[in-house]
Amino acid sequence: MSALNKFADYTLGLFSASADDEYHEQVLLKSQAVGMNTLGLTTIPVGAVLAWLLPGWATFCSFLVVLPPIVANGVTDAWVKQYAPRMSAINSPKYMTIPLIALVAWLAGIGYQFSSVGGPQYAVIIGGVVGAVVALATVPVSMRRNKHADQRRLDNELDAADLQ
Amino acid sequence: MAKVREPVPANSVQAWRGWRGITQADLANRVGVTRQTIANIEKSTYSPSVHLALAICREFRTTVEEVFGKDQHERPE
C-alpha cells in the first residue's frame, strides 16, 4: 500500500472514529469539502494582503500562501483518481468574482512593492494578468480532460477485471 | 453520462414508527444510530445505507419495500 493510501486511510479513520454513526460521518466529510473550498477562496485574499504588506523583494514571498492548497489539491487528486474521476472545474462566474478581484489586488500589490526597489512595475502586472488569463482559459479544459481520462482508465480497469 | 443526483425519495419511517409506537430515540437506540440520523431519514434529507435500512425494517418487522420502496404507506395488520 502506498504512503498516500496509508495517510488517507489514517485520516478517514480519524473521521470514522470521531463520528457517532454513518449520517454523522457523512456530514463531517461534507463539512471538509466546504472547508477545503473556503481554504481555496481565502488563500487569494490573504496572498493579496501579504503582497501589499511585505516590503520590496519580500513581496514575492506572498506566493507561499498558495503552497498548502496546491499540496492539498495534489493529494486529493492523487487519492480520488484511484476510485473515481477527478472533479471538473467549477464553472460559475459569480463564484469566481471575489478570487479574481483579490487576484488583481495581489498583482497590484506585488507591482507596487516591486517598483519600490526599482523593478519594472508594469512588467510584473502585465505578466501576472497574462498568466492569470492563460490559467483561467486552460485549467478548466485540463480538468475536464483529466476527468474523462480517469473515467476511461477506471472503466478499462473494470473491463480487465471482468476478463479475469 | 447523465447526472444521477436525484433527491432522496420519501419514506414511511415516521408512519411505521407511529404504528409501532416507537419514539425516534428508541428506534435510534435499537438500530445503533443517533436520533439526528433517524430524524434526517424521516425528513428524507439523508438516505440510509442498506445495512441501516435493513436494521430499521427489522425493528418494524416489515420489508424494505414497505418502508422505503413502492409498497410504502400501507398500514400493517
pLDDT at site A164: 73
pLDDT at site B2: 47
Please answer yes or no on whether A21 and B48 come within 8 Å at the CB atom: no
For residue A148 the three cell numbers come to: 474523462
Give per-residue pLDDT as tens, A79-96: 999 999 998 887 777 778
* Mean pLDDT, chain B, whole residue set: 88
Give per-residue pLDDT as tens, B1-60: 445 566 777 899 999 999 999 999 999 999 999 999 999 999 999 999 999 999 999 999
ipTM score for this prediction: 0.83
pLDDT at site A69: 92
DSSP state of B33: S
Contact residues of A toward B, CB < 8 A: 20-24, 26, 151
Q: CB of A78 within 8 A of CB of A4?
A: yes
pLDDT at site B71: 73
Please answer yes or no on whether B34 and A24 come within 8 Å at the CB atom: yes
Helix (H) or strand (E) holding A109: helix A93-116
* Mean pLDDT, chain A, whole residue set: 89
In angstroms, the CA A43 to CA A45 distance is 6
| pTM reported for the whole predicted model | 0.80
A160 to chain B, closest Cα gap in Å: 21
Give per-residue pLDDT as tens, A11-68: 999 988 999 999 999 999 999 999 998 998 899 999 999 999 999 989 999 999 999 9
For residue A121 the three cell numbers come to: 512595475
